[in-house]
Structure 1
Amino acid sequence: MNLLKKSETIKREPYLNFKLFYRNIDRKLIWQVLTIKFLVILWGGIVHQVFTRHRFANLGDWLAIWNLWDAPRYLNLAEFGYQSSGENQVNIAFYPLYPLLIRCIETITNNYIVSAFLISALASIATAIFLQNLVAVDYSPKIARSSVLFLFIFPTSYFLHIGYTESLFLALSIGCLLAARTNNWRWVGFLGGLATMTRINGMILIPALIVEAIHQYRINKRFNRSWLWILAVPSGLIIYLLCNLWVNGNIFSFLEFQREFWHKSSAFPWQSIWAKIQQTPRYAAYEMQMVGVQELLFIAIGLAGTIWSWFKLRPVYSVWMTGNWWLFTSTSFILSVPRYTLVLFPLYIGFSFLYKERILYNVIIVWCVVFLLLFSGLFAVGKWAF
């Protein structure tokens, strides 16, 4: 019997039995994740060599092509930390946990890029394990396995394998929600705190966890003092704000840099989306017009999935979907929505529900794989791909 199958009754030991949990890890799942990871890195390397005619001499060349856009900033933070002046002062806009882990692993590997990839590799495996077990709490093993598949073939899933925070954030967030669903609330506080130290949308865990606690109360009609561990979730954000205070003398200095360098400030989603709709046809380059179209498409996918989740899924997942979608559309300059949509993991549960509708199910798989190849290939040759 699956360790996590009984959790619907919410009658659980206060801690995970790690020995039993380890025995229930799907080894086949790990090999599937590693295979997809290998194929994505291999594909990107082949595309890069074909289009640039640059032949790779060693493993470092295969990894270096992915060190683009935000990735070098994490490596810079790992090596030098936050800085109060100079061109790298803007790095205060990035949260500290991922570069901190890179720095720690670098003491072993003696290579920052390898360390970043190693962390993402381990975190992506943890993400797959946590997601499969989380979905299996409520649904069949087939739905659980299919949900993991859709996550790892999603068009922007290549960010799970490179020097970005997606895999670490998903591992911590899904692990946190898994702990809540299995009544292991101390782990909720610990993993949630690390999630809020990784990305701002870790704070969406707070309303999601509160809703889950209310849901459990309605089932058991009993207050659980362990729910107070939710109060530990913002600890990661507090650490990040203190970093802002220590470096720049202002706990909200990261907002200033976001406005100055990324033109981001608060706005209502309908304002931002309408501005994007008007802006997209005006781009001089056809390439940027297509980027704008993809941004709008993924906004629509996220919105449709969010609405669907309120009718079909447990409230905790609906809150997660709503909070994340609202967050990445509530900005004056919409950017990287296809990448941000990757963390909307309940969306993959919805895709998996379609397994009986074979044609539609297969169409979604083909769409995912085709655009994963397209986006990852563009990224590997240095194009903007979210």
Structure 2
Amino acid sequence: MQTRKIITYFLAWRVLLFIFLLLAIETFPLQLNFLGGGLENYLKNPLLWAWINFDGEHYLDIAYSGYKSLTYFYFPVFPYLTKLVSNFTNNDFAGTAWTGLLVSNIAFVTGLLGLTSLIKLDFKEKLVRPTLLLLLFFPTSFYFGSFYSESLFFALVIWSFYFARKKKWLLAGLFGAFSTATRVVGIALFPALIVEAILQWKEKKGNLKLAMISAFSVMLGIIYYSSILDAKTGDPLEFFHSVEIFGSQRAAGFILLPQVFYRYLFKILPNINYEYFPAVFTTFLELLTASTFLLLVIVSFFKLRLSYALYSAIVYLIPTFSGSFSSFPRYVLVIFPVFILSAIYFTKLSRGIQVLISLLLLTTLGIATALFVRGYWVS
């Protein structure tokens, strides 16, 4: 697939998100908490500030004025990169906001280009289009265009895998190290690249020693961030120990996956206020996403490269250890092998079923985007 077509897909998706935003302004009442930039800024320019709600506020504050107490949960590469770029553009508050969105969107396009190249290493080019469309249509894909670290992490992981597959291990390790300083789930690359190195060694390809060194270097990113936390707070795992502040559903200890499903089925679902649509929508989206991706992650061990499957499983499991599927529909965005696997099965369906699934995904994307940009919690 040509770069021009990928950029066209991205631009069409971006326009669609703005349409959803405009419709949301006319449809959903505004929730006043957790608005990007505060209420005054939001009301003046929702086309900008609506994409910085919730966690986006924290990333923007870190990029603009640095870390403060209780913000160490957010890893540094995305806000620091935003700060760096804003020094060459406009480093006031609004300028930093625009810069962060620019960084996020450019990173997403870069990730899409890398994903296309990665797919073509194992599959025919015809699988690229359905994979990209399923990713773009996914209900929480709007986070890729928001002031969040998802798009940057997505791009770093994709290109780390691509360089590993092409046996350019120094670059694979470098991109991997940046990924672990971007999101904690970047540590999934460490065992995944070790497996990839062994697979290539068994195929009598590449330098096993160099590959292993590069795989281990992935951990340098999170080690670096932990050393900073140790110096500033006295706790190198502050990002982990502060998880409880982000909701009563989350725990700082480890909760097993069956316990999380049990909690949803027997404690959360029976006690939802079914008259409050945003809570109902979000809860069922969390449970459906967790169930669907669990099945696909399991299947990936039989259908995809082992390094991809292992990465998928670890990225899936890490958020569940907090005892909740809260934010899970956003966290799974970076499990790119599942989207490849989904596309494989999607292409085997009849045209009518494909259209039906696409419309269902787009409708859910529209609702989720509308809720998010109007200040309702989605993921």
TM-score of the aligned structures, taking structure 2 as reference length: 0.89
Is residue 32 of structure 1 aligned with residue 19 of structure 2? Answer: no
Gaps of 5+ in 2: 31-38
Report the equivalent of 1:18. none
Q: Is the 8 A contact 1:45 1:380 kept in 2?
A: no
Q: Is the 8 A contact 1:66 1:380 kept in 2?
A: yes
Q: Is the 8 A contact 1:82 1:247 kept in 2?
A: no
- Which of 323, 327, 334 aligns to 2:314? It is 323
**Bigger CA drift: 38-47 or 66-75?**
38-47
Q: Is the 8 A contact 1:45 1:65 kept in 2?
A: no
**Bigger CA drift: 154-163 or 212-221?**
212-221
Is residue 174 of structure 1 aligned with residue 158 of structure 2? Answer: yes
Once the two structures are TM-superposed, the CA of residue 51 in structure 1 deviates from its matched residue by 3.9
Q: Could you say if the C-alpha distance between residues 384 and 172 of structure 1 is closer, same or farther in structure 2, counting changes exceeding 3 Å?
A: same
> What is the CA–CA distance in structure 1 between the aligned matches of 2:162 and 2:206, rounded to whole Å?
20
> What is the CA–CA distance in structure 2 between the aligned matches of 1:273 and 1:183, rounded to whole Å?
40
Once the two structures are TM-superposed, the CA of residue 49 in structure 1 deviates from its matched residue by 4.1
Q: Is the 8 A contact 2:21 2:369 kept in 1?
A: yes
Runs of 4+ with >6 A deviation: 56-59
Report the equivalent of 2:270. 281
Q: Is the 8 A contact 1:281 1:289 kept in 2?
A: no
Report the equivalent of 1:347. 338
Question: 1:147-296 alignment to 2 at 5 Å?
Answer: 147-220=131-204, 223-227=207-211, 228-262=213-247, 263-265=250-252, 266-278=254-266, 279-286=268-275, 287=277, 288-296=279-287
Residues 223-275 of structure 1, C-alpha deviations (whole Å, 9 max, x = no match): 53320211210111012112211221211222232124433322111112211
Name the % identity.
Answer: 27
Gaps of 5+ in 1: 1-23, 84-88
Report the equivalent of 2:113. 129
Matched residue SS, 2:52: coil
> What is the CA–CA distance in structure 1 between the aligned matches of 2:330 and 2:125, rounded to whole Å?
27
Is residue 70 of structure 1 aligned with residue 73 of structure 2? Answer: no
> What is the CA–CA distance in structure 2 between the aligned matches of 1:191 and 1:256, rounded to whole Å?
26
Report the equivalent of 1:105. 85
Residues 199-218 of structure 1, C-alpha deviations (whole Å, 9 max, x = no match): 00000001111111111112
Q: Is the 8 A contact 1:155 1:372 kept in 2?
A: yes
Aligned AA (1:384): W
Aligned length: 357
Q: Is the 8 A contact 2:114 2:162 kept in 1?
A: yes
Once the two structures are TM-superposed, the CA of residue 26 in structure 1 deviates from its matched residue by 1.8
Q: Could you say if the C-alpha distance between residues 153 and 50 of structure 1 is closer, same or farther in structure 2, counting changes exceeding 3 Å?
A: same
> What is the CA–CA distance in structure 1 between the aligned matches of 2:188 and 2:354, rounded to whole Å?
30
